[in-house]
A = this chain, B = another copy of it.
């Protein structure tokens, strides 16, 4: 997408940071697309920019997913792939991208109606997987993810036109106050924080470990938190957090011995596929931002194989 004066969500220009009101719906088609959420849940998602569904998956389902992503992490062939990102300054694996194409259980997960039907309902259309990853946040050394809006990055670095995507984070271990839970700023999805500074080519090679560009300024963060507070998504394994692509979020480091492993799936509307990135940037690799694999996800009819 060409970044111009007509871009509703210009960012990383030479201008200062700015707060811009959201130009897009949060719930598309008034939630009439067949789905699993009650009106009260939809209203809560629309108001807060997220919805936590405790124990959406059973303990053994979460365990099977955890076993699979651990096997992937232990596989030298996977560790050698670009898809595997190490902890900054460490050897432990921080993230594995494209995990829904690398693991069978995760492949079924992204087609599970308990999550994909929620995405279809909220986005009011068919959806595809824009990105998937396992975030391991290993014990003792899992580093923080600083505050960011995913949409800011996807808009600028991937050319995602509008705010019509959402993430869901499936908790594979208990997420507690002690192991760096996801933190969200309620209501922040209604405001777009345009960030300062240009973006170098190939930014993703370092940003997946530690972000330097597309970082919201402290004053804007302070304002968002004064308005909405901060909420930590502490919940048991098998719980799922759905959150809007523009909800401000981050998570602290994990010094506890207890890993905080989640699978993270981004659904984008088929009506919101990627264009050219902003600022003349080269597109990021397919495993970070799908451009070719944009077929709608068909929900599984039956979960038993």
Contacts and interface: CB of A to CB of B under 8 A. Distances in A.
Contact of A255 (B176, B234, B252): B252
A225 B255 contact: no
Oligomeric state, in copies: 2
A121 interface: no
B183 A256 contact: yes
A176, A221, A257 pick with most chain B CB within 10 angstroms:
A257
B177 A256 contact: no
A231 B230 CA distance: 20
Contacts of A257: 218, 221-222, 225, 230
Interface residues of A, number: 28
A250 B140 CA distance: 11
A250 B255 contact: yes
B144 A253 contact: yes
A91 to B, nearest CB: 14
A181 interface: yes
Contacts of A214: none
A66 to B, nearest CB: 18
A102 interface: no
A258 interface: yes
Interface string A219-235: 00110010000111010
Contact of A252 (B221, B234, B250, B254): B254
B255 A146 contact: yes
A187 to B, nearest CB: 14
A177, A222, A256, A258 pick with most chain B CB within 10 angstroms:
A177
Which 10 pairs, one residue from A and one from B, show the smallest C-beta to C-beta distance?
Answer: A177-B177, A177-B232, A178-B230, A252-B252, A222-B257, A225-B257, A178-B232, A178-B183, A230-B256, A252-B253
